[in-house]
Structure 1
Amino acid sequence: MKAGKTSRKPAKKVAKKATKAVTKTSAAKPKLLSGGNPQIAKAYGDAPVQAYIAAMPGWKSDVGRRLDALITRAVPGVYKAVKWNSPLYGFEGQGWFLGIHVFTKYVKVAFFRGTSLRPIPPGESRQKEVRYLDIHEDNPLDDAQLTAWVKQASKLPGERM
């Protein structure tokens, strides 16, 4: 090849290869990590959160859908992302107020400023301000209390992660 010339593939072939790669990737089921937590690539928006929820094993997926719907109703315009294989909820540029994570026997809801909520969520953390709510398969979810915590948490300064 002469200097200054570059090899170019026809646009149709490149586009076709890219489409195949996207289709293959999106069709693959996410890997489940320890405890059944879905491995979802870091991404922002509703789509990665929905992919995470869809990949949650068994009864936990129903809990994930219920939590996501409750949070979205309680905080219109909430910003979503998946980071560190966990859905996060907050406001763009203002940080995160809540995260969800799957474990073997429960789904953990983390309130990043949980010690400021009333009443304080029951699960303690090693981190000073964080509090947890662990949702087990046989425990009923108190929608009214959870909604109150979500609304309170959304009004507090977000966690920058």
Structure 2
Amino acid sequence: MPEGRAKRPPLTPGPDGIVRLAGGNPQIAKGYGDEVVQRYIAAMPGWQRGVGQTLDAIITREVPGVSKAVKWNTPFYGLEKDVYFVSYHCMTKYVKVAFHNGTQLDPKPPGTSKQAAVRYLDIYEHDDIDEEQFADWIRQASALPGEKM
């Protein structure tokens, strides 16, 4: 550790036994399937849990048989194991949805990325989710090649 830098205290679990990382993102062990994604959603803080439930419901409805996983404390959705088209993550004030080939969606999600093909949708506490637009993006994204993760 560089001299003069204080060692950060270890993160401690919340009342539910789950550690929250920066921005309140739940620390959930890597795993595959709906159960691990539901564990992540249940651990999302406050209003973000409702966003996670809504996103998961739309993705599951629009892509029957969707493959789900949690990796790097983030839920991923795809059509085959380890190949994904969308994911989301808790930030301090919003939920960040990543469309892995989002530049190919029409219209493109509003948030740009340092990664050439990725586009983001940031959902803040008082935002109304345009469920029809989100469902359309999910249908489009699931028809594109996914990203190997």
| TM-score, reference length from structure 2 | 0.88
One-letter amino acid of the structure 1 residue matched with residue 145 of structure 2: P
One-letter amino acid of the structure 1 residue matched with residue 131 of structure 2: D
Flag the 1:52–1:119 CA change in 2: closer, same or farther, 3 A. Answer: same
Q: How does 1:1-161 map to 2 (within 5 A)?
A: 29-93=17-81, 95-161=83-149
Dislocated runs of 4+, deviation >2 Å? none
One-letter amino acid of the structure 2 residue matched with residue 89 of structure 1: Y
Runs of 5+ consecutive residues of structure 2 not aligned to the other structure: 1-14
CA displacement at 1:91 relative to structure 2 = 1.4
Whole-Å Cα distance in 1 between the matches of residues 103 and 117 of structure 2? 5
One-letter amino acid of the structure 1 residue matched with residue 61 of structure 2: R
CA displacement at 1:30 relative to structure 2 = 1.4
- Cα deviation 1:75-126 (Å, max 9, x = unaligned): 1100000000000000124710000100000001100000000000000000
Contact 2:97 2:121 in 1 (8 A): yes
Range moving further from structure 2, 107-116 or 90-99? 90-99
Runs of 5+ consecutive residues of structure 1 not aligned to the other structure: 1-26
SS at structure 2 position matched to 1:109: strand
% identity of equivalent residues: 60
Q: CA RMSD in A?
A: 1.3
One-letter amino acid of the structure 1 residue matched with residue 117 of structure 2: E
Whole-Å Cα distance in 2 between the matches of residues 28 and 105 of structure 1? 21
Contact 1:94 1:158 in 2 (8 A): no
Contact 2:20 2:27 in 1 (8 A): yes
Whole-Å Cα distance in 2 between the matches of residues 120 and 86 of structure 1? 22
Q: Determine which structure has more spread, i.e. the larger CA radius of gyration.
A: 1
CA displacement at 1:29 relative to structure 2 = 2.3
Whole-Å Cα distance in 1 between the matches of residues 83 and 111 of structure 2? 22
Q: What is the number of residues matched between the two proteins?
A: 135
Contact 2:37 2:70 in 1 (8 A): yes
| TM-score, reference length from structure 1 | 0.81
One-letter amino acid of the structure 2 residue matched with residue 38 of structure 1: P
Alignment correspondent of 1:18? none
Whole-Å Cα distance in 2 between the matches of residues 29 and 43 of structure 1? 18
CA displacement at 1:139 relative to structure 2 = 1.0
SS at structure 1 position matched to 2:148: coil
Whole-Å Cα distance in 2 between the matches of residues 33 and 110 of structure 1? 19
Whole-Å Cα distance in 2 between the matches of residues 92 and 154 of structure 1? 11
